[in-house]
């Protein structure tokens, strides 16, 4: 069975600084990896995904993530944080095309002006 | 032109009542899901449908019954509501790889 760990409940970063939100995963086959963002009282918005190909994937709003197979990680990054990036971020994984996503518990990102 | 829509957005009801949440997607996807997000923001899959057929039914009380009249719609009916059913319920649909979520329905059982 697949699982996702987001080790940090909260990440605080100053505006303009780089940010990293951590994610590690466990699957039995090749992973399909995703990041979603949830703003207060809103649904989940898709940010980016890794299915195959380049280990560095770029997504919406300037976010990117790096797939590291040996460390089973898929950390979310952004070079320069904005206050408007403050939200709840979810990492998700599945191991086969037809299985539903399994989500991590979420990491709350707070960007301070 | 909303991709995945849900109604209602908020639902407040008494214990023991029966209620339904509707979901529609205009993306042409074959696969749809219901997820539950609890008060701690944990997201858990409830049901998965592919082309109107139930594929996955996780450990969910049988008071919850999904219905898919066509592949663009996946409704969730809940009988005999309990306090513990209070949560945000998200519908999603999926293309080849990616799931797209609706805005959620916040259910409060009093």
pLDDT digits (tens, 9 = 90+) for B20-68: 999 999 999 999 999 999 999 999 999 998 888 888 777 889 999 999 9
Range in A56-65, A91-100, B31-40, B76-85 the model is least confident about: A91-100
Query: Does the beta carbon of A34 lie under 8 angstroms from any beta carbon of chain B?
Result: yes
pLDDT, residue A97, reads 64
pLDDT, residue B1, reads 60
Instruction: Identify the burial level of B90 via C-beta atoms within 10 angstroms of its C-beta, where 0-12 means exposed, 13-18 middle and 19 or more buried.
Output: buried
Which 41-80 residues of chain A touch chain B by CB within 8 A?
42-46, 49, 51
> Which residues in chain A are closer than 8 Å to B100, comparing Cβ atoms?
46
pLDDT, residue B19, reads 97
pLDDT, residue A71, reads 96
Lookup: tokens for A2: 């697949």
- Closest C-alpha to A41, from B105, B91, B38, B42: B105
> Which residues in chain B are closer than 8 Å to A97, comparing Cβ atoms?
96-97
pLDDT, residue A28, reads 86
> Which residues in chain A are closer than 8 Å to B7, comparing Cβ atoms?
none
Contact A48, A77 (CB under 8 A): no
- Rounded to a whole number of angstroms, the distance from the CA of A97 to the nearest CA of chain B is 7
Place of tokens 């989500």: A103
pLDDT, residue B33, reads 94
The bridge status of strand B10-13 relative to strand B105-109 is: parallel
User: Would the CB atoms of A103 and B90 count as touching at under 8 Å?
Assistant: no
- Rounded to a whole number of angstroms, the distance from the CA of A65 to the nearest CA of chain B is 16
User: Would the CB atoms of A88 and B48 count as touching at under 8 Å?
Assistant: no
- Rounded to a whole number of angstroms, the distance from the CA of B43 to the nearest CA of chain A is 6
pLDDT tens per residue across span A36-49: 999 988 889 999 99
Overall average pLDDT of the A19-48 stretch: 94
């Amino acid at each position: 069975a697949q699982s996702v760990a987001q080790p940090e409940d909260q990440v605080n970063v100053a505006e303009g600084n780089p940010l990293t939100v951590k994610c590690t995963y466990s699957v039995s086959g090749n992973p399909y990896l995703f990041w979603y963002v949830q703003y207060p009282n809103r649904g989940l918005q898709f940010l980016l995904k890794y299915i195959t190909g380049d280990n560095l994937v770029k997504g919406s709003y300037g976010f990117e993530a790096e797939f590291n197979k040996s460390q089973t990680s898929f950390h979310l990054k952004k070079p320069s944080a904005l206050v408007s990036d403050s939200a709840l971020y979810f990492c998700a994984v599945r191991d086969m095309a037809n299985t539903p996503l399994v989500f991590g518990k979420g990491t709350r990102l707070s960007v301070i002006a | 032109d909303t991709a995945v829509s849900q109604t209602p957005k908020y639902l407040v009801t008494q214990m023991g009542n029966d209620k339904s949440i509707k979901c529609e997607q205009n993306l042409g996807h074959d696969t749809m899901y219901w997820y539950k997000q609890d008060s701690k923001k944990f997201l858990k899959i409830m049901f998965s449908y592919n082309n109107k057929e139930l594929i996955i039914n996780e450990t969910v009380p049988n008071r919850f019954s999904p219905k898919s009249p066509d592949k663009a719609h996946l409704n969730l009916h809940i009988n005999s509501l309990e306090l513990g059913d209070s949560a945000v319920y998200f519908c999603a649909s999926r293309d080849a790889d990616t799931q797209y979520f609706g805005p959620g329905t916040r259910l409060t059982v009093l």
